[in-house]
Amino acid sequence: MEARPHSGSDKVTYRYHPVGGKPVNLGQDKRAAIQKVLDMNGASNDAGTVSELWRTYQTMPQWKRLGERTKSDYTQYSIKLLEVMGKVSGRIIRPADIARYLRVERAEAPVRANREIALLSNLMTVAVERGDIDVNPCKQVKRNLERPRTEAPEPETFAAFLAWLNTQGPQRQVIGLMAEFAAMVGSRRIEFIRLTLPQIDDELGRIRLMRAKQHGGSVRVESVTITAGMEDLVRRLRALERPDGCLHVFTTRDGNPYTDDGFASTWQRAMTKALADKIIPRRFTFHDLRAYYTTQHKAQYGGLPDLHADSKTTARVYDRSRVSERKGLG
């Protein structure tokens, strides 16, 4: 490798002289130039590449602090990211490369691309902290525009869907009860998929859940009041068949609590069949039921529920009211 100073300047350009070949320009970054030479000669391991940063990230405390659902999501996001950038050294990734990934490489999946670059940003932070690079290039590029969902199922549509699920097999009936529970209490699926009977306190008239997204090391417990409208639902939940000694409320035919993937596949099959049978006019996601709860809560009680540390998030993401009401002047 040759270093070539610029006359009248303190800049240095590096190039590589392969045996019997033309010189290869390596740019002005010495560390990146050395890495390129090692890569071309097969003498380098993958130290400093995005793949190596991903492996390192999974051994660090910040990874261990993540919830299991977030870890699973990041693992999925890593697939395409590593396919495109896995062998690239973090030292040579520029903001322009991030922008190209977002707008060109993943043009057909702009929202998913945002999530993948969020993961890459975490990996670049690892590179910054250990001195590989000075600046995280991901933080210098705007993400793709995301349009939040604007609809929640109408009460009539949701009621028809629940009634239809109740005529299907036992597992779809359980899925229907999970959907009804989500719509009545507004919790994320991850927060109640492993709900146990002791968490339903009839004496106090409350259901005790743990908020999935905790911030700042704090633990937030959610205590949901069992209203008169929920008493029938609670009775049906308690009456579900389950093996002797099993305390989980929602179980598969084997008597085990649902996994997130198992639930998702059952939900999607039920949704597809409901559309084919014209039970519902269009598809909605299970997460839309959180918006359903928020919208109905506002209509019934005149205010938004306490779902996030920042109430603005609840208003922006989950309030899907179609009519804004206010009083005129007296």
- pLDDT, tens only, 3-48: 988 877 788 899 988 777 788 888 888 877 877 777 666 555 678 8
Domain boundary among 110, 129, 147: 147
End-to-end C-alpha distance for the chain, whole angstroms: 83
What is the domain-level CATH number for residue 165? 1.10.443.10
Output the CA–CA distances (angstroms, integers) from residue 67 to 54, 140, 198, 310, in the order listed: 17, 27, 23, 20
Is the domain of 128 the same as that of 160?
no
In the sheet with 200-201, reading across from the earlier edge strand, the strands are 200-201, 206-210, 221-225
Note the pLDDT tens digit of each residue in 94-145. 999 999 999 999 999 999 999 999 999 999 999 999 888 999 999 999 999 9
Q: Summarize the confidence of residues 275-289 as an average pLDDT.
A: 93
Give per-residue burial for 132-145: e unless 16+ CB within 10 Å, then b.
bbeebbbeebebee
Is the domain of 106 the same as that of 164?
no
In a domain, 222, yes or no: yes
Is the domain of 161 the same as that of 59?
no
Rounded CA separation 70/75 (Å): 9
User: Model confidence at 179, in pLDDT bands (50, 70, 90)?
Assistant: very high
Residue 40 pLDDT: 65
Most confident of 188-192, 307-311, 324-328: 188-192
- Nearest of 219, 135, 239 to residue 208 by alpha carbon: 219
Taking a C-beta distance cutoff of 8 angstroms, is the pair 182, 189 a contact? Answer: yes
Is the domain of 223 the same as that of 206?
yes
Least confident residue range of 108-122, 165-179, 214-228: 214-228
In a domain, 29, yes or no: yes
Rounded CA separation 259/250 (Å): 11
Q: Give yes or no for residue 215 having a pLDDT over 70.
A: no
User: Model confidence at 218, in pLDDT bands (50, 70, 90)?
Assistant: low
In a domain, 61, yes or no: yes
Q: pTM for the whole thing?
A: 0.67
Is the domain of 126 the same as that of 24?
no
Mean pLDDT of the chain: 88
In a domain, 118, yes or no: yes
Is the domain of 195 the same as that of 277?
yes
Note the pLDDT tens digit of each residue in 67-104. 777 898 999 999 999 999 999 999 999 999 999 999 99
Total number of domains in the chain? 3
Residue 290 pLDDT: 92
In a domain, 282, yes or no: yes
Is the domain of 306 the same as that of 164?
yes
Is the domain of 121 the same as that of 215?
no
Is the domain of 15 the same as that of 107?
no
- Percent above pLDDT 90 for the chain: 56
CA dihedral 215, 216, 219, 224 (to 10 degrees): -40
Range of the domain at 7: 1-44
Is the domain of 202 the same as that of 313?
yes
Contacts with 31 (C-beta within 8 Å, 6 or more apart), sequence order: 91
Rounded CA separation 84/194 (Å): 37
User: Model confidence at 322, in pLDDT bands (50, 70, 90)?
Assistant: confident
User: Model confidence at 232, in pLDDT bands (50, 70, 90)?
Assistant: very high
- Number of CB atoms found within 10 A of residue 310's CB: 10
